[in-house]
Amino acid sequence: MKHTIWFLLATALAAGCASTATVPAEPYPTAPPSLGPAPSFEMADPIERTLSNGLTVLYLSRGELPLVQAVLVTRAGAMDDPADLTGLAAFTADMLDEGAGGRDALELAAAIEQLGATLGVGAGWDASQISLQVLRDELPEALAIMADVVMRPDFPEAELTRVRDERLTELASARDDAATIAGNAFASLVYGSDHPYGRLSTQESARRFDRQTLRDFHSRYYRPGTSTLVLVGAIDSSMHPQVERIFGNWPATGSVTTSSVPAPPETASTRIFLVDKPGAAQSEIRIGHPGVARDTPDYYALQVLNTLLGGSFTSRLNQNLRETHGYTYGAGSGFGMRLGEGPFSASAAVVTAKTDSSVIEFFRELNRIRDEVVPADELERAKQYVALRLPQQMETTGQVAARLADLVTYDLPLDYYGDYVQRVMAVTAADVQRVARRYVRPGRSVVVVVGDRQQIEPGLRALPIGTVEIRDVEEFVR
């Protein structure tokens, strides 16, 4: 594969596919064909209904295939993990389909598979999601199973022990993977253990998960009043009475007192943390600091900024470290926008012998994006890239359902995408420089390098970038 795809929220629009008709007699063109106007793209707003217990239901009829994607999103995420129980939201979600509504784990799995359906469970920082993909004809039956999983999980003791052992084994083997170590070290060193974004999931915390802990977390956070069911595809709101029968008996238990994310610690200067991985063929590099929350008014400018810094193949970081120098298979950057101020990070896996040179190039680009106004053609390309990809990012029912679930999680209006393109296209070079200076801070960064210490330490110590501290793998994966 030519390149890995970088994480970046993108989007866009346009109208009327009228490419110029050509005739075979015309000669081969030596210049790129000019583009007609981009096609228009409109996404209908979902229809919103509310059940008497407070559950919001969104219906979006879409496409001609007999397929439905359902997502139940509830406001329970890793940010709500108690300090001594990191990983609880994710573990609770994982356990939902291990027995529910009178079926044990094997019966649940068999029932879903028999319908040709796929059921997924998981928790992110800000929300947990239970998702279902199923053919239209099997939807009512599959939705009833999904409701059991959401509302009536049993958390059986035997399954809990098994899944907990799997989690402990997974945590024990996390030390094998340099990228995992780097990710953990970066989060820990940027946010510290006093902040939820800096607390690591550990074997010690996983050992504390018991049935009562899970039941408490479930009853506290999985409530109809703070949940939304998203239905996309071969469906419309005429199915509402059926949905009401299936989800209407979820008892209303009022709203949750949700956690709020504290402000992240200040970083005063740049520090390099070297984690030894003897014999590693590459060094995993992470550079960054606390970033910005999803509700920032600078959202669109930041999307454009990140696209040209490290969010696309032609971005400065990828062009520099990969295409100019050949140090890596791919370099990039991203803003982890959450309810709180998630991290900004730039990252790459680079060949061991070029570790210090790579760090220099990272800092060259992180400084240049602040110091110089972005040229007009580069800015335009980044804006088009963010804006015009919306139709392909909304191609499948699963993609659309995920977008709607995100709107719910971040309390954004359901017609959010109506003016998305205009907002992206309104970003100016001055906006980009302003947000770069505010949200990209190379002089106050954490630099994590996971690699072969013997080979890379002298080079890192010689860099005029920051102090170098040696840390143990065991600090970050345990």
Partner 1 sequence: MMRIAILMGLLAAAPLAAQDVSLPHTLFTLPNGLTVIVHEDDSAPIAAVNVWYHVGSGYEEPGRTGFAHLFEHIMFEGSGNVPEGEFDRLLEGAGGVNNGSTSPDRTNYYEMVPANAVELALWLEADRMGNLLETMTQQKLDIQREVVKNERRQSYENRPYGMYFETVFAALYPQGHPYSWSTIGSMEDLSAASLDDVESFFRRYYSPNNAALVVAGDVDTEEIRRIAARFFGWIPRGDEVRKPDLPVPAIPETRYITLEDRVTLPQLNLAWRAEPFYAENDAALDALAQILSTGKNSRLFRRLIYDEQIAQDVLAFNNSQLLSGDFFIRITGREDLDLNRLETAVLEEIRRIAETPPAPAELERVINGIETNFVSSLERALGKADQLNQYYYYTGEPDFAAEDLARYRSLTPADVQAAARDYLLNESRIVISIVPQGRTELAAEGVGR
- Give the list of residues 6+ apart from residue 380 with CB closer than 8 angstroms, or none: none
Residue 31 or 268 having the CB closest to partner 1: 31
Residue list 312-331, contact with partner 1 (CB under 8 A): 312-314, 319, 322-329
What is the closest distance, in whole angstroms, from the C-beta atom of residue 474 to partner 1 in the complex?
Answer: 13
Which positions from 123 through 162 interact with partner 1, judged by CB under 8 A? 133-135, 162
* Among 102, 116, 120, 458, interactor with partner 1 by CB under 8 A: 116
Residues 43, 46, 51: CA angle, nearest 5 degrees: 170
CB of 440 to partner 1, least distance (A): 21
The nearer residue to partner 1, 180 or 258, going by C-beta atoms, is 180
From the list 84-92, 193-201, 202-210, 389-397, the region that binds partner 1 by CB under 8 A is 389-397
Q: How far is the CB of 269 from partner 1 (least distance, A)?
A: 30
The residue within the footprint of partner 1, chosen from 51, 96, 115, 448 (CB under 8 A), is 115
The reply on whether position 305 binds partner 1 by CB under 8 A is: no
Residue 213 CB, shortest distance to partner 1, in Å, is 21
Q: Please report how close the Cβ of residue 258 comes to partner 1 at its closest, in angstroms.
A: 33
How far is 203 from 400, CA to CA, in rounded Å? 36
Residue 268, interface with partner 1 (CB under 8 A)? no
Pair 224, 41: CB distance under 8 Å:
no
Query: Does the protein bind partner 1 through residue 375 (CB under 8 A)?
Result: no
Contact status: 235 vs partner 1 (CB under 8 A): no
Q: In terms of CB distance, is 248 or 398 closer to partner 1?
A: 398
Q: Which of residues 63-102 bind partner 1 (CB under 8 A)?
A: 63-67
CB of 257 to partner 1, least distance (A): 36
Q: Out of 48, 83, 172, 295, name the contact with partner 1 by CB under 8 A.
A: 172
Contacts (CB under 8 A) with partner 1, residues 3-42: 3, 5, 12, 14-24, 26-33, 35-41
Residue 105 binding partner 1, by CB under 8 A: yes
Smallest separation (angstroms) from partner 1 to the CB of 62? 9
Among residues 48, 84, 165, 236, the one that binds partner 1 under rule CB under 8 A: 165
Whole-angstrom Cα distance, residue 316 to residue 364? Answer: 10
